[in-house]
Structure 1
C-alpha cells in the first residue's frame, strides 16, 4: 500500500466506539532499542512515510498530533521545544488555524517522551519547516474527518457544513461538537499525502502576531524555567568536575565532606563526584570543599590558541569532497582577470547561556523522570537509559524551558548529572544546578575553523572559479550514545563517545553554506573533518554558516572592487534565484544603497545568503563607525530583508532576526574562548566578553517578504552569516584593511589601524 493511501489500524484499542480519542503513541517500530540502524532524517528520527510532508514523515499517525476528549477539549502535541524563539506560540497558531478554533481552546503540549511525537532535535531552523508543516496538514485532515462524520450523521454534504471553535454547524441549524463528531472516526491512521486546501487570504491566525504564551511568567517573575522548579522533598546537588578532560580521580576524603554538616552526602562513581544536601547553600559549600580535597591525575594537553588553525591541518582527520563542477581551473575562454585568494579563520566560541545548565530528576517506583532544557528529549532519553542500564520505557524525559540555549550547550550533560545522582538516592527529587565556571569550562564549544578561498571572475564581472578548502572539528556531537554525555566519561565503567560523523549536504556541518548560491562556472570545495580534537565541539546556531558566509561575502566584495562594480550590482549580476534577488533589491532600496557614510571612519557593507541554500533568504546592509584611536566599533544602522516563506508570526519573526543580528555582531567582533596549555581562561564573563548594551546597533530595520501559501522555511538562524559578513565588509571599507580572523575586534585590530 502506498503511503498516500488511507491506512487505518483496526486493531488498535485507540478506537473507542463512543467517539473519545485515546492517544496511544506507537512512535517507532522497535522503539525498545535505544539506537536502531534505520533510515533517519537530518535530525535523527526514523522515516516511516517518506512521501508525507514535514514531521509526518517520521510520525505519520494523526493521533500522534491531535487529541479531542469527551469534554471537547483539544490537545495538540509537538516534539519540538520552546527555546525562547517563540515557536510554541507559532505552532499553536498553525494548529488553531487549520482546526478553525480559537488558540485558547487548545491545550498545547511540547516534548515529553511519554506523550508527544519523536521529532528528534529542535535545531537547524527546522521547527516550522518540520513540525509546523506536520501540524498544518494533520490539523486540516482531522477537521476534514470530523466534517465527513457530521455529514454522514446528518445526511448532508461536507460543503454544507462550517466550523467555529470546535463546533460544527449544519445546514438546518444543527450543531455538534468535535467530540460528538468523533463517533465512527478512527484517527489512528496514516495521514494523507494531500490535505484540504485553505486559501491564505482566509487565514485569521497565520500571518498575525499573537501574544506569546511563554512571556507572561517571564516578565512577571513567575516560574518559567527548569531553574525555577521546586518539588516536595527535593534535594540540591552540585557536581565536582576534574580540572580538565582526561583527568582521573586519585583520592578524596569523604569524611571531610561529611563534616560540612547539613545532611551533605557524597555521591561517587569512579571519577564522577557530586554532593547532595537538603539546602542549596550547603551543597555549594560542600562542592567547594570537594574541590579543595580532590586529587586528580594529569589530563589531556591543550594547545596554544595562537597555533590552533595550523594545528587543525595536522590533527587526525577525514577529507570530504563537497563539490566538484566544471573542472579545477578556469578555461581560457573565461578570461580570469580578477582573482582573490585568502584564508579566513574562526576561534572556538561558547554558547554563553545566561542561566547555567540545570536539571531535576526523580527515580521513584522504578521510573526515572528527568525535567530538562534539552533540545531533544528522545535522544537524551536513549542516552541516559544506556548510561544507567535501564530499559527505555523506564526513563521519561520532559522538556522544561531553560534560560539560554542557541545550540548544544550543557543541558544534556546536566540532565545526565541529575539522572546519575537520582539513581544513587532513589525516592528523592534531585535538582542539579551548574555553576558559571562549570558552564564555561565544560559545555561543548562551537568549533574553531580555517577556510582557504581561491575565487576568480572574468572581465565582465561573472564568477568563473570558486575553490574552497576548509578545516573544522565537529559541529554535531549530539546524543547518539551514552558516551556523548560528558558525565559518562568519568564513571567507574566509562562510556566512549560515538565516532564523529559530519551532517551531510545540503544541511551541512562545518561545511554548512560553504557552497555559494551564486552562479559559478567552475567550483571545487572540500572539507577536512578533524576527528581528534583538543576540545569537545558541537552545534551552535548556524554551525559553519557563520564563517562560511563571512568568507563568501568577503570574496564577493573583493572581486567587486577589482571589477570596478558596485557590490550589490556584482551580486545581482551573478545570481539567478528570483527570491534571492528580491531580498537584495529590497535592502538596497530601503537602505538607499549606495548610501554615503558620513565622516572619517564611517562606512557601509552588504551581504546576502540563503540559509543552507534550501531555507530562508536574508540580505543585510550595515553602516558602522570606527574610532581609530580606540578601535571602538559603533553599529549605526542595520537594514535587513528576509524571506522565510509563509510567515506565521510577524512579530516573532522580527524578534528572531533582531536577536540574530545582535548575536552575530557579538560573535564577529568580540567572542572567543581564551586558553593556553595551562588551561581554559574563559571561566567567567570577564574572560569571555560579549556584546554589551552600549554597543548594540543604534537602529535596526527588518523588512519581511511574506510568501503566502509557500512552505515555512524557519528564521532562527538565517541572519548570523549575513550579519557577520556585512559587518566585516563595512569594517573593511571603514579601515581600508581586510581583516579575516574572527573575532575582528580582537585579532590585531589596532595593528591593522
Structure 2
C-alpha cells in the first residue's frame, strides 16, 4: 500500500486539461477532458470503494460514475449525494464520468435508472468510505469513533485533526463497499434535497464549448460520410480519382457500401462530400410502404403475440356491463431530433483506438467496436462527452463507429466526424410507430368492470451489445453484417398493464419487425401506452358523466397516486377558461413501480383554422427522495414540452426508398414562441428510495393535451400528431 508521491500522481492524480477550440477559449475540463488517472482497459471492481472515489493530493475527492451526463443534471446530483455522505463542501468534489478503464461499467445511461443505480452506488461507497476513515483515525488516536467527525476532507477529533491525504499517506481506500450504519442523505440532508444550481447551464446559455461537437485537437482532420439513397442500396461505381485535386482532400475511404471523405478543413470536407454524392452510382429498389397508410400496413406484418396480463374474465365482464366503450389509438414514427447532429472524434495510433463520444453506453459500445474491428477491448479507449441533445439511443454510436473507421484508415491524427442535419434526421434509429386498441365496460356507478387492451409495436432497443449489427455503418461493410432485427420487445409493453384497480384485465402484445430502423426513444413504449390509456380513461369518465380526476381516484388505492392527483386538482382549481379554451388531465405511475406523475394542460383552439395553442401545463411529481428539486423540475418541464411537441407536430415521413423528413420544415418541432408556461410541484419523500423521473412525463403529457382539445372542441383525436385538417374536418 505504500507509494511515492510520484507514483501517486502517475497512478491516481487528476490533472485538468483544456483543448483549444479553434484557437479560442479552452474546453472546460469537467466535461470534455478525460482524467489522467493511469489504468488499464479493465473494468474497475465495483465492489471496492476505490472504484467509485479517489482521494486527491489537493484535498479534493474524485467521484467516478459510469453514467453519462445527457443534460439531465446528473453530474450535479451525484456531487450532492457524494458531498452529503462525505460531509464535504461541493467545491471539494470532482466528477469523472464515463471513461472506459477508469470509471465503473454501468451499462447504459437509460431507463431513468441513473440516480437509482449510480447514485445509490456512490452513496454506499461514500458512506462506507466515511466510516472506514473514521475507524482508521479512531485506531490511530485511540479515540472512540463517536468523538470523531469527517468534515471537508479532514477527520476532526476533540483536540486534533488530520487531512484524509495525511491519514492515508497517499493511499486509496481499497476496502470493499460495506453496509453503512447511516446515510446522511436520509438524516442530515445538508446538500441532498436542495436546489443546487447546475454550473453547465451558464456555459450553455453563453455558448461556451461544452459538447462533443465543440472538441478541437491540434492538427485535427475532418470527415463526412457519403450516404446511399436507402437502407438497402448497393454501391455500383464512382470516379475515385475525381477528388485528388480538390482543396484540402486527404483520402477517400470505401469499404463495401460505406464511403467516407477526409479533408483538412470541415468546409472542404462538406464540399467534397457533395461532389461525391453526384459522382457515386447506387443500385436501389423501392421497399418502403409509401402507398399504404402506415396504421394499416403494420397490421399486415408477421406478429409475435403474447399475453401480458390475464386477470378475471375481461370479455364476459365487458359484455355484462351497463355501458361499454372501445377506441383505437395510433402513434407514428418519431425521431430524437437533437439540436446538434451526432459527432465523434477518434484517433488510431500505436495500434490503439481512442474515441470521444456522446454514446449512452461507452462499455457496450467498446464491446461492439472490438467485435467490428477484431481488436482487444483493452486497445479501445472511449471517453464519454455530453452531446447537444439526447433522449435515448440516437446516432451517437453510429457517428463514433464512422469516426473510428476513418481514423483506422488515417492513423496518427485526430479525426472529427460530424453528421449533417439530413444525416441525423434520415438515418437515426427512430421511436417506433404503435397501435393500441381498447375495450372496457362500466357498471351503474361508473366503475370499470372489465378491460381489454391490445398493443402493436416494433422492438424498442437495438443498442450496441457486443455485436456489430446494431451499428449502422456495419451493415454497409463487406463483412455482410445485417440489420439487428426486432430488438428489446419488453419496451413495447411498458405501462400497458393499467395501474388502476380493475377486477378483470386482459392485455395482449403483438410485436412486429417494421420497415424503419428503430431503437430506444424516451419512455419507449410507455409513451404510446400511456397516451392511449389516459385518453381512454378520460373517454370512460365522459361516458360515465364523472369528473376525470374523480374517475381516476375511484380506481386508485395507492395514497401517493391520490396525493398527486389531489394536489393537481387544487393547483388548477382557479383557472378561468375563456371561449375556445379547455383543461385536460392525465396520470401515471411510471413502469407501475417508479415515479408518480399527474399533469394538466390548458389549450386554446381556433375553431376557424384548427390551430392549437398550448397555454400552460401543470404537473405534480413524486419521485421518492428528491436529490435536487430544481433538477427534477427541469427534467419534468422538459419532458412535458417535448411530449407536447410529439403530440402537436412530429411524425417521420418517407417515400418508397427513404426518409423525407430531413430538415426542420419537413420535421417541425415546437418552437420557443409556442412553448407553454409550466408549473411543477415536487413531492419530496426522504423516507422513500429515489427513483428516476426523466421519462415519466412523456405519455401523460400528450394525453393531457389531447384530453384538453376534446374538452375545448368536443373532438376526440386518437391519431398523432394533431393536425389542423383533422380538427377542422371534425
TM-score (norm 1): 0.89
Q: Does 1:597 align with 2:577?
A: yes
1:390 and 2:375 are equivalent in the alignment = yes
CA change 1:613–1:654 in 2 (3 A) is: same
Kindly state the Cα deviation for residue 331 of structure 1 after the two structures are TM-superposed: 4.5
Residue by residue over 1:462-510, the C-alpha shift from the partner in whole angstroms, topping out at 9 and shown as x without a partner, is: 2221111111112111112111000011111132344434354xxxx12
Report the CA distance between 1:16 and its aligned residue.
Answer: 4.1
Contact 2:249 2:269 in 1 (8 A): no
DSSP 3-state at the match of 2:315 = coil
Residue 118 of structure 2: aligned partner:
131
Aligned to 2:590: 611
Residue number among 114, 119, 130 corresponding to 2:101 in the alignment: 114
Alignment pair present for 1:222 and 2:208 = yes
Match of 2:497 among 512, 515, 533: 515
Residue 676 of structure 1: how far off its partner (Å): 2.5
- Pick the aligned partner of 2:433 from 430, 445, 448: 448
- The correspondence for 2:260, drawn from 262, 269, 274, is 274
Query: CA–CA distance in 2 between the matches of 1:323 and 1:23?
Result: 57
Residue 3 of structure 1 corresponds to: none
Matched with 2:554 is 573
What's the Cα RMSD here? 2.2
Out of 695, 703, 718, the position equivalent to 2:696 is: 718
Instruction: Provide the residue aligned with 1:653 in structure 2.
Output: 632
Within-5 A mapping of 1:375-386? 375-386=360-371
Q: 1: CA distance between counterparts of 2:503 and 2:492?
A: 24
- Unmatched 5+ residue regions in structure 1? 1-14, 26-55
Q: For each residue in 1:144-181, what CA deviation from the matched residue of structure 2 results, as whole angstroms up to 9, or x when unmatched?
A: 1011110111111111101210101012x111112233
1:585 aligns with 2:566: yes
Change (3 A) 1:651 1:23: farther
Determine if the alignment matches structure 1 residue 367 to structure 2 residue 352: yes
User: What does 1:534-573 correspond to in 2, within 5 Å?
Assistant: 534-573=515-554
Q: Post-superposition shift, 1:186?
A: 7.3
Aligned position for 1:636: 615
Provide the rounded CA distance (Å) in 1 between the counterparts of 2:633 and 2:8: 38
The CA distance in 1 between the partners of 2:11 and 2:590, in whole Å, is 37
Determine the structure 1 residue equivalent to 2:340: 355
Aligned partner of residue 138 in structure 1, secondary structure: helix
Kept in 1, the 8 Å contact 2:230–2:657? The answer is no
SS at match of 1:686: coil
Match of 1:662 among 641, 655, 664: 641
Indicate if the aligned counterparts of 2:85 and 2:185 stay in contact, CA closer than 8 A: no
CA distance in 2, matches of 1:363, 1:548: 45
Structure 2 spans left out of the alignment, 5+ residues: 13-42
Offset of residue 554 of structure 1: 1.3
Distance 2:655 2:8 in 1: 60
**Secondary structure of the corresponding residue to residue 402 of structure 1:** coil
| Closer/same/farther in 2, CA of residues 629 and 290 from structure 1, 3 Å limit | same
* 1:552-603: CA deviation from partner (whole Å, max 9, x where unpaired): 111111111222211111100100011011000000011117x56321x211
**Separation (CA, whole Å) in 2 of partners of 1:577 and 1:745:** 37
Give the secondary-structure state (helix, strand or coil) at the position aligned to 2:493: coil
Structure 2 distance, partners of 1:129, 1:260, is 53
Cα distance, 1:21 vs. partner? 8.2
Contact 2:44 2:105 in 1 (8 A): no
Q: 1:528 to 1:178 in 2, by over 3 A?
A: same
Following the alignment from structure 2 to structure 1, what is the Cα–Cα distance between the partners of residues 109 and 215? 22
Match of 2:685 in 1: 707
CA contact (8 A) 1:199 1:709 kept: no
How far residue 190 of structure 1 moved from its aligned partner, in angstroms, is: 3.4
Following TM superposition, by how much is the alpha carbon of 1:197 offset from its aligned partner in structure 2, in angstroms?
Answer: 3.4
Instruction: Write the distance in 2 (CA, Å) between the matches of 1:645 and 1:21.
Output: 40
Among 444, 449, 466, the alignment partner of 1:459 is 444
User: How far apart are the structure 2 equivalents of 1:686 and 1:389?
Assistant: 42
Deviation at 1:695, TM superposition (A): 1.7
Matched, 1:529 2:529: no
2:583 partner SS: strand
Does structure 1 residue 342 correspond to structure 2 residue 324?
Answer: no
Structure 1 residue aligned with 2:149: 162
User: How many equivalent pairs are there?
Assistant: 698
